[in-house]
Structure 1
Amino acid sequence: MRTRPVLVFDGDCGFCTSSVRLIERVVRPRCEAVPWQRADLAALGVPPERARHEALWVTPTGKAYGGAQAVARLLLSAGGAWAIAGALLTLPPVRWAAHAVYRLVANNRRHLPGGPAGCALPADRARRT
């Protein structure tokens, strides 16, 4: 059984990988960060479709939090002022706003620095301009 939470992220996305590395240095969450492409998703109890859709925080007991709530759990794990920010992200209406911002960033990460073609949405989900 795992004793530490696991942060699962998209290791093919430069923006995601850079963000996780920055968070590891600055926030210092108490977790193991692993790209979903190298994670044992079955052992974590996470469907691959979900791991492709959002960052995940998987507790040692197997509870998975996704997207903005994964970020909230990450911040809570770091303690101090970070934990206060994490706690705020769990409360409505901040929680709702955090979800909207997370989806906005996730859906547009291909336009952000470090966002390679692998971050692009499938053609059937990409917004037509």
Structure 2
Amino acid sequence: MGVVLVYDGDCGFCRRSLGWGRRLGVRVEAVPASAVDPGALGLTREQLAEAVWYVDEAGVRHRGHAAIARALRTSRWLPVRLAGRVLGSRPVSPLASRAYAWVATHRGRFPSWLG
């Protein structure tokens, strides 16, 4: 398996976010967590249920906001790639990590128009 973004395919917010990413020019193979063998990625089902994962061609795994940052960096549009770099940068990463954790925990409570 090459570069892949593994997301919660049962989550409306997650599917909607992936659609936003596509409109932002993100070019990464996105696969629902239910369609992958977690062991092949060096992950567990529990890890896949907790967060989005980006696994690069070398098998390096990135979780949560770092996965989103990596995915944004695949965009065909420079401003989106730059946003991915900023999101994954040292100054922004601690805040982005906390924000991602909050969103992941509360994703089922978002209004229906988000999912």
TM-score, normalised to structure 1's length? 0.79
Q: Does 1:49 align with 2:49?
A: no
Shift of 1:73: 0.2
Q: Please give the alpha-carbon distance, in whole angstroms, between the structure 2 residues aligned to 1:95 and 1:65.
A: 13
Q: 1:105 corresponds to which residue?
A: 103
Identity of aligned residues (%): 35
Q: Please give the alpha-carbon distance, in whole angstroms, between the structure 2 residues aligned to 1:92 and 1:60.
A: 23
**Which letter maps to 1:62?**
G
Which blocks of at least 5 consecutive residues in structure 2 are unaligned? none
Alignment root-mean-square deviation, CA: 1.6
Which blocks of at least 5 consecutive residues in structure 1 are unaligned? 116-129
Aligned length: 112
Q: Please give the alpha-carbon distance, in whole angstroms, between the structure 1 residues aligned to 2:112 and 2:40.
A: 30
Q: Does 1:12 align with 2:27?
A: no
The 4+ residue runs of structure 1 with deviation greater than 3 A are: none
Structure of higher RCO (CA pairs closer than 8 Å, 6+ residues apart): 2
SS of the aligned residue for 1:82 comes to helix
Shift of 1:30: 2.3
Q: Contact 1:13–1:114 (CA<8 Å) still a contact in 2?
A: no
TM-score, normalised to structure 2's length? 0.88
